[in-house]
Structure 1
Amino acid sequence: MRRTLPITLAATLLTGALAACQGGGGDTGSSSAAFDPATCQGGTLSVLNQGGINHLDPARLYTSGGGNIPSLLFRTLTTRNRLEGEAGTKPAPDLATDLGTPSDGAKTWTYTLRDDIFFEDGTPITAADVKYGIERSFAPELPGGAPYLRDWLVGAAGYQGPYKQPEGITAIETPDAKTIIFKLSKPEGDFPFLATATQFAPVPKARDTGVDYEKHPISSGPYKVESYDPKKTLNLVRNENWKKGSDALRYACPDRIEVTSGLDAAVINQRLTTGAGQDANAVTTDAVVGPEQLAQLGTGSELDKRVARGEFPSTTYLAFNTTKAPFDNPKVREALSYAINRTSVVNALGGSAVAGPSTTFLPPQKALGYKPYDFFPAGESGDAAKAKEVLAAAGLSNLTIELSHQNDDSEGQGPKVAAAIQDAFKQAGVTVTLNAIDSATYRDVTGKPATQPGLALASWGADWPSGGPFLIPIFDGRQIITAGGSFNLAQYNDPEVNAEIDAINALTDPAAAAARWGALDEKIGKLALVIPLTHEKDVYLYGKNVKNAVPDGWRGTYDLARVSVK
């Protein structure tokens, strides 16, 4: 998925995910008292956010790893391991007793539910509830969820949800109340990662009210909805029927959580910095640190003690449409790769605290299979001489190209980055005209082959920490969608690469799969189908009374299920 400044719950409140050390990780708050998950309960946590809470239905949320707010309300078959660093990139059992049992070459996955799991009304959660929750996510009345299951489940591509087809999905079997079996059309070793998605949250059929369900979704997590005003506020209180003994990963420290949306990022950061009154108990899940606060960090100020630094696996890049001249010429793509000035791009994005230069498409995270390479060395500021040399050898001079970008900088694909690229290419003798496209329609234009420009700014973030969801949408030729919504902007379709993707998908050993994803990234990188620009770094502030705000390797920010204000 793309990491953007949020406009929906799925992309905002949900993108956070933290994990502190299990059993009482480090104290990252300003108080000298050590954090203890057994005694952290109490107080009210405030969440100050930019993005509005448009939807609160698990079927409509595009998030894996349980997200941040959803993870407080909805338990799924698996969840994030909620540990800092590399350990936090792994899935862990949640409603299920383990990560699932693969069979038939990873085309069948079987899960057994725990015994001590309940909805907020005290009703035991069953396999049928999980199946029904998944089936709801196929309903056209409830759009927005992750699309994987429509492709992965046998015979599910045309399913229209339980309201139109109450017979359900036959590829999901529930032979008893504790067992759920998934039949897939092809091997999928990453299924335990997908099972963290909110689509896998149980929904009691008797309580389903269709499109109105999100007004008060039935909780399976440590908190339940007290009140919800879409796009404005969400107030959560404890779910008395959540059993702490069944859920070691969620500490559920605050007694109450109050989310306020629609705030300006500068206001959020100023309130967190000052920490007056209830703001001392505040966090944010979508307002990264602004320039004013960044200038204070690293100086030994009090603010240095209240900053969480993580990395969400995301790459900003230049996307070539290789069906259009001159980008159908590999030498043009190579020359521009040599010319790029990544330092100026980093500066345009806000500096080295929030972005790092990338020469690989996979970000520098072991779980993804990251393998260093740089086939077109540009140095820190671009190699204009080498770029001119490559163009001259190809008989190309006085080249003029157009670069499409968003018309604002909110998603890191706007005028500032475009201007930095324009200047770098100018040094190599390439004239760049800029084409600003309304951010609201940018994905519609660039994602449809018929309207896709020749060169465009883009970004991609992994749905879970694996090379598959990073490379497949961008380079699998079977992912080219002519009707629109395509992310394979190179329109690259190599049967050998497609076959290697299938072979890696069949692996159930994450380490073995990671090595193969890294090798595939390297192979594709030689073709200069994209120019990787930067990888994301995340810097979030938190209030003076907040403890255990430790980022993990999955989402790059702290986890509301583990922070404390006591």
Structure 2
Amino acid sequence: MTPPATGDVIALDPAASRGPAPAQPGARRGGTLHILRDGEYDHLDPQRSYTLQSLAIGHLLFRTLTMFREDGAGGRVLVGDLAETPGRDLDGDGRRWEFTLRRGVRFEDGREVTAADVAHGIARSFAPEISDGPTHLRNWLGENGEYRGPYQDGPDVPGLEVTGSHGLVLRFRDPHPDLPFAVSQPTTAPVPADADTGADYGHAPVASGPYRIAEHVPGKRLTLVRNPYWDAATDPVRHDHPDRVEIEMGVEHGEQNRRTRADRGIDAYAVAENNAPESVAAELIADPTLAGRLRRDATPLVWYLAVNTARVTDLDVRRAIAHAVDRSGIRQNMLGEAQGRLVHTLLPAATIGHRDYPDPYPAGEHGDPRAAAELLAGRSPELRILCRSGDYFMAGGRALAESLDRAGFRTELVEIDRPSHNATLKTQGHPYDLYLMCMAADWPGASTLLGMFDGRTIGPTGNDNFVYLDDPGVNAEIERIGRLPAAEAAAEWAALDEHLLRDHVPMVALFSYLHVALSGSKVGGVFTSSFLGTPVYYNAYVEEF
């Protein structure tokens, strides 16, 4: 089966996957890069990492079978990372794929990374206690039979074969032409079985990338130092320019950007990781002297209101929610007008298959409480809204609750700590109706976003289908389209997008956003990933240390 028709997105020439990574003009080796962020990472366990900034810092710590190499100007290509190439479709039908690991990739303790280590990483992603990371590969291998992870069922994953010390073959019941993309996720990060501590592994993960963890004080700081066994000749994407990377946590968004703007002391070597609040962003944008340091970049990220369809079962109630939501108010409270663009389609605009169909719920920027009230017909449904802790998230949650209350709903806003948020909503049977989620397609194409609505993937924990939609017609359509070549599937995904929103309302798209944040004057090589929509650091360096 031909890989997805995405131009030069997949590096078909093996030479493109060879190390070292392309040199960065002006880069120098040494010094300390400082990263300012608002809180703890959700996870440092690679198989549990799924939030964008956790994925970005994971680039420095963990290798994966494949990886996107970006140029900082919007160009990206999928290359072999641990693997010598982005994979080989053995039979040409997308059901059996082979990967050969490159030699000389080593963990921080000096041991060479083997196929067994990658297989163990994949295997542990099935364990219920660590199932809150990416699920695509787990679901696809799950087609071969039930498997509950290595702690319960032993090391052998159905459909995953280790061939010698450096070979892997993955076999699937159904075609999966997107597999080279799926194995770029940290599900495929290698984990030595004898170092695996289960749910506690994130406290001391074994690095395979250019850096390792030297110190971690949760919620306060994380210090990375070079992995002495990382070899640039084996890595087609990453560099290890700084001697150290020091992440300071608990720094409010505005304070991050005010400090980097002041450019004093270590803050000249710092990156503000989080978006500046509206008032600070306006100042940064208006200051022409910051042009070379300011990141003001379009992202693939869209904020959605997710509806738990297992609890909110009445379609008219879900449609009333869509009419009532004050998109502009939520955007203003979280980002401000300059940092977000209102949207209504489920698929982001840059995704293959996107079509800007008419909004089925034309409620204007601030919602239409009258139209919502008509659908409710005198009812006042109670809705429990789950919201991450922190001013940024709670501001959006309050704006959401207020707009729903105006339409006749009775809302309860429940705050939860950030590391527990996704694990909670991905657990079947949780007691919440609505939650704000920021999402992007996991790779080019619509399948990763719309495929989440396949109800056959719902399990006790770790659900990508966190809206718990389980409609036989939708499930069948996702399966049908998923078997099509990407060029044929694009229009079909667009039609499914509109059908889902019009006839099921599992989510309401709110706004996409720009990343607006600042780096210190001594920082180079940091850019906003067109793929993740957050800063990435594998080209980073510092000047005049």
What TM-score comes out, normalization by structure 2 length?
0.81
What is the SS of the residue equivalent to 2:292?
helix
Residue 11 of structure 1 corresponds to: none
Which residue of 48, 52, 60 corresponds with 2:40?
52
Q: Within 5 Å, which residues of 2 pair with 1:144-543?
A: 144-154=132-142, 155=144, 157-161=146-150, 163-205=151-193, 214=202, 216-285=204-273, 287-308=274-295, 309-317=297-305, 319=307, 321=309, 327-329=314-316, 334=319, 337-338=322-323, 340-367=325-352, 369-373=353-357, 374-382=359-367, 387=371, 391=374, 397-398=377-378, 400-406=380-386, 410=390, 414=394, 416-419=396-399, 422-423=402-403, 426=406, 430-440=407-417, 456-462=434-440, 464-465=442-443, 466-473=445-452, 475-480=453-458, 492-507=469-484, 510-527=486-503, 529=505, 530-543=507-520
* Mean Cα deviation higher: 203-212 or 188-197: 203-212
The separation in 2 between residues aligned to 1:224 and 1:50, in whole angstroms, is 22
User: How many correspondences in the alignment?
Assistant: 515
Contact 1:137 1:145 in 2 (8 A): yes
CA contact (8 A) 1:358 1:533 kept: yes
Question: Which amino acid letter does the alignment assign opposite residue 469 of structure 1?
Answer: T
1:547 to 509, 521, 524: 524
Q: Map Cα deviations across residues 365-386 of structure 1 (whole Å, 9 max, x no partner).
A: 234x32112233334444677x
Look up the equivalent residue of 2:499 and give its one-letter code: K
Aligned AA (2:265):
G
Alignment counterpart, residue 113 of structure 1, candidates 98, 101, 108? 101
Which stretches in structure 1 are left out of the alignment for 5+ residues?
Answer: 1-21, 25-34
Q: Check conservation: 1:120, 1:242, Cα contact below 8 A.
A: yes
1:433 to partner: Cα distance? 2.6
Amino acid at match of 2:439: G
SS of 2:225's partner is strand
Listed one character per residue, the Cα deviations across residues 73-112 of structure 1 (whole Å, up to 9, x for unaligned) are 2111011222346533x53211112211224532222111
In the alignment, the residues of structure 2 paired with residue 324 and residue 67 of structure 1 have an alpha-carbon distance, to the nearest angstrom, of 32
Give 1:17's aligned residue. Answer: none
Partner of 1:92: 79
Residue in structure 2 matched with residue 7 of structure 1 by the alignment: none
Contact 1:47 1:260 in 2 (8 A): yes
User: What runs of 5+ residues in structure 2 fail to find an aligned partner?
Assistant: 1-20
Contact 1:375 1:525 in 2 (8 A): yes
Distance 1:363 1:412, change over 3 A: farther
Deviation at residue 511 of structure 1 after TM alignment? 4.8
Change (3 A) 1:533 1:56: closer
Report the CA distance between 1:65 and its aligned residue.
11
* Aligned partner letter, 2:349: P
**Percent of residue pairs bearing the same amino acid type:** 30
Q: Aligned partners of 2:438 and 2:330: how far apart in 1?
A: 16
Q: Which shifted more, 510-519 or 462-471?
A: 510-519
CA separation of 1:143 and 1:63: change in aligned 2, threshold 3 A: same
Q: Which amino acid in structure 1 is aligned with residue 384 of structure 2?
A: S
- 2:116 is aligned with 1:128: yes
Query: For residue 10 of structure 1, what is the aligned residue in structure 2?
Result: none
Give the direction of change, closer, same or farther, for the CA distance of 1:505–1:316 in structure 2 (3 Å limit): same
Q: For structure 1, which segment, 498-507 or 210-219, has the greater mean C-alpha deviation from structure 2 after superposition?
A: 210-219
Q: Distance in 1 between the 2:47 and 2:326 partners?
A: 42
**Residues 83 and 99 in structure 2, CA contact (< 8 A), matched pair in contact too:** yes
Q: Indicate conservation of the 8 Å contact 2:135/2:462, yes or no.
A: no
Q: So what's the TM-score if we normalise by structure 1? A: 0.78
Deviation of residue 464 (structure 1)? Answer: 1.0
Residue 172 of structure 1 deviates from its aligned partner by 1.7
Cα distance in 2 between the residues matched to 1:419 and 1:557: 24
Deviations 1:36-63 (A, max 9, x none): 16x4322210122222257543344336
Q: Please provide the CA RMSD for this pair.
A: 3.6
User: Which residue type is aligned with residue 370 of structure 1?
Assistant: H
Partner-residue secondary structure (3-state), 1:405: strand
